[in-house]
Structure 1
Amino acid sequence: MSADFVALPDVSRFALTNATLPTALLSKPLSGPMREGLISAHVIIDAERIAAILPAETALPYDIEKVDLDGGLVWPCFTDMHTHLDKGHIWERRPNPDGSFAGALEAVGSDRIANWSAEDVTARMDFSLRTAYAHGTQLIRTHLDSLAPQHRISFDVFKAMRERWRGRIELQAVALFPLELMEDATYLADLVQVVGEAGGVLGGVTFLHPKIETQLDLLFETAAKAGLDIDLHVDETEDRQVLTLASIASAKLHHGFKGAVNVGHCCSLARQDEDTVSRVIDLVAKADLSVVSLPMCNMYLQDRHAGRTPRWRGVTLLKELTAAGVRTAVSSDNTRDPFYAYGDLDPVEVFREAVRILHLDHPLGDAPAVITRSPAEILGRPELGCLAEGGRADLVLFSARRWSEFLSRPQSDRVVLRSGRAIDRHMPDYRELDSLLGADHA
């Protein structure tokens, strides 16, 4: 199998020599000189697994086939822990008229009612997964709009797609719904049944509401009784008056909730004074919440006002949260839909933009964990996010040798290995979706 920058042998045992590895992604330390959190090494592949990771000065057996990467980077495959596969690729059919959050809500709501049949969701979800797989992603969590009756349609599609993609992409699903709907006991019971049968996660959207404390109590009580984890959309606003993040952390502590709780966005945290920031972050750390930032979507939606240049970046305080011991990650979020008009479910793009938007550089050594090791650990699959001897040879090879090279180009010539074999990285053509998007688009 060949690719743009390296040819791989058609054998089960070979060595990737003169490779450069991010030390933050190694399961155990490796000896040798380091530069910017990168180290030279040889990676031995044998029977679908990483047999050994050796210092670069190690002499290799003469009889092993060698592939010289000439300093190219080697990463584990990626984890995209916050996506919306049910919304993806509807932009041409239902664009956001003004790029605002309100415009996105209205556009998605009307498109869902008009078009989201099982066939429609299946076609768009499969298109997205083929794209993500070609980029090198192996674990995805998707939020699914779960207003009735869509919850049953989309979760059935999700279960079918999870089986179709088993062994290529691991899939997790979160039910996304306004928390006030929990007041409808019939709906809540049905939703919990659907989520439980799918092995899913209970989600929701939190915002400033007179009953937010009561809603959170019911959410945690319901999740605990059903044995479900929680993953919430939180404070996706520039309004500093909205800070439900603190209420979520307090509710988890109050209920002694033992499940995992992840929170996404948390944009308004960056709008608070320093005393409030310190207090809330301490509470988040104490409650052991994990936090995912969605830098591309947040930059797109936040502080958007007609005729005015945005004044802030829209993202949460990822550095401060990480420094406090909070598990953090970044992810794609929406793709070509009214909440984000662009994107391709490419974690390399997400990482590159996160480095720029969140200033994850200078130094860059720990940054690669945000799309690999950290989200995989948050989603309960830590073995998928690191370079480990004995682990599956699910790797992404890059011609780039240093961070400046890696972050300056899209890395479109990357090679993706699954179980030690290079996959076909052919991208699905957008024309496949023309029949779903309407004659005007076609």
Structure 2
Amino acid sequence: MRDALKAAGGRFWLRNARTPGVLIPGFEAERDADGLVRLDIRIEDGKIAGVAPVGSARDGVDMQGGQVWPAPLDAHTHLDKGHIWPRARNPRGDFGGAIEAVMADRSAAWSEKDVEARADFAIRCAHAHGTVAIRTHVDTYLPMARGSWRAMVRLRDRWAGKVAIQMSSIAPLDRFAGPDGAPIANMVAEAGGVLGMVTRHVGELHADLPVGFQEELDTFFALAESRGLDIDLHVDESGESGARALREIALTALRRKFKGRIQCGHCCSLSVQPEDFARDTIARVAEAGISIVVLPMCNMYLQDRVAGRTPRWRGVTLVHEMRAAGIRVSVASDNTRDPFYAYGDLDMTEVFREATRILHFDHPFGDWYRAATANPAEAMGIAGRGLIAAGQPADLVLYSARFMTELLSRPQSDRAVLRDGRLLEATAPHWRELDEIVGVTG
């Protein structure tokens, strides 16, 4: 297939393919038990020219029934933390231990050069795996954060046209109520970023709502409103029933008639709330038009971790109930090889595979295919991405796997990635490239 793609030129058919039907607007064809359709896809001059029933194309690259997906988008990552695990382990493997390890590493080792090198490595991994857009949360503790933001702006400009990079601030809520609030918001606005925070105070975990929460939340919203910024929040990342910020965020957005986009990540504690409270929270989130992004690999790694005890829950939120209420739900990578998650490679194929297993996206898959494609595109404000539609860039991921049981049973290391209709000749960099940065010898 790779040889055929190299020889295909600028105008060709991908014929005899399978694609999730929900990712092809306006195309009507018989769907199999998992919602896949058979089709031919026309590529012209770097764009998708159209789709046709299977058998329409007489020549082209024969997919032999393999799947074709639109390139994924990763709506919640932490590029500035990525790959520090070799020098900043989390011996306990829990949330508190992650905070402690990252704080120590940030103070001791982060510089513009360090952050930029590790983040660029991570973007190269995502690019090779097929991702076309990434939103990264940038630790924003002044004054050190100014260097991280400068590094991220350089990376955004360097990767423009290949991987779209969006930046969001991240700092505890009380930081925005103090003297750093306006300077942070100004820095985010100047960089064209998204205003983000975590719904806890400095030095605390996600438990009961902190004292002064509503006043501080209103201050945060006002900072975003006055600068026309979208909002992206880390919310209720624990198994504590007192962590109930999500409902208050939705009510605040409704009361203030907030006009920007809001995305909330994690929302783990919703799954341990009383049913009536959870249903009401979900209803308010739907009414406010808030998007939810879940991070199943990282949350299952951190949550309910107690030494010597088997975890009792998966640490993830009520995704099926949210989808039933009309809420846009995405999945994303979150952390990679840092104290919050010791593993990962910014590979959205892996994320979707693990999300399917952890969150039961299957039997039937329904429209969950959108969770790694069209939904994050909409949440990030990148119109049309995550779909196979005429006029969109021919940025596609091609798998030899024909059925979902095949796609989700192996890592799909033999996938081919098309960028603007051309075979992408990129591979994920080797870990050794980071040895000097993270202090690995041998």
- Measured against the shorter chain, the TM-score band is over 0.9
Task: Give SS of 1:434's match.
Answer: helix
Of residues 141, 149, 155, the one that matches 1:155 is 149
2:184 is the alignment partner of 1:183? no
Aligned to 2:205: none
Q: Over residues 341-388 of structure 1, what are the superposed CA-to-partner deviations in whole Å (9 max), with x where a residue is unaligned? A: 000100011001100111111001312110001010111113111000
Corresponding letter in the other structure for 1:85: L
Aligned to 1:206: 199
The reply to whether residue 358 of structure 1 matches residue 352 of structure 2 is: no
State whether residues 238 and 303 of structure 1, in contact with CA within 8 Å, keep that contact through their aligned partners in structure 2: yes
SS for the counterpart of 1:279 is helix
1:407 aligns with 2:419: no
Q: Aligned ranges for residues 312-351 of structure 1 at < 5 Å? A: 312-351=313-352
Q: What residue in structure 2 maps to residue 143 of structure 1?
A: 137
TM-aligned CA deviation for residue 33 of structure 1:
5.0
Letter in 2 for 1:197: E
1:189 maps to amino acid: A
Aligned to 1:98: 92
What SS does the corresponding residue of 1:236 show, helix, strand or coil? coil
Q: RMSD value over aligned CA atoms?
A: 1.3
Corresponding residue for residue 422 of structure 1: 423
Matched-pair contact (CA < 8 Å) for 1:151–1:191: no
Deviation at 1:163, TM superposition (A): 0.8
Please name the residue that 1:193 is paired with.
Answer: 186
C-alpha displacement at 1:100, in angstroms? 1.1
Alignment of 1:22 onto 2:23: no
Alignment of 1:8-87 (within 5 A): 8-32=6-30, 34-58=32-56, 60=57, 65-87=59-81
Give me the whole-angstrom Cα distance separating, in 1, the residues matched to 2:31 and 2:138: 46
Amino acid at match of 2:141: L
Separation in 2, partners of 1:134, 1:205: 31
Kindly indicate whether the alpha-carbon contact (under 8 Å) linking 1:291 and 1:329 is maintained by their aligned counterparts in 2.
Answer: yes
Q: How many Å apart are 1:97 and its aligned residue? A: 1.3
**Runs (5+) with no aligned partner, structure 2:** 201-208
How far 1:149 moved relative to its partner? 1.6
Aligned to 1:259: 260
TM-score (norm 2): 0.96
SS across alignment from 2:185: helix
- For the residue of structure 1 that corresponds to 2:215, the secondary structure is helix
Shift of 1:154: 1.0
Work out whether residues 78 and 136 of structure 1, in 8 Å CA contact, stay in contact via their aligned partners in 2: yes
Separation in 1 of the partners of 2:185 and 2:218?
16
- Structure 1 gaps of 5+ residues are none
Residue from 62, 66, 88 that aligns with 2:82: 88
Indicate if the aligned counterparts of 2:16 and 2:55 stay in contact, CA closer than 8 A: no
Residue correspondences, number: 434
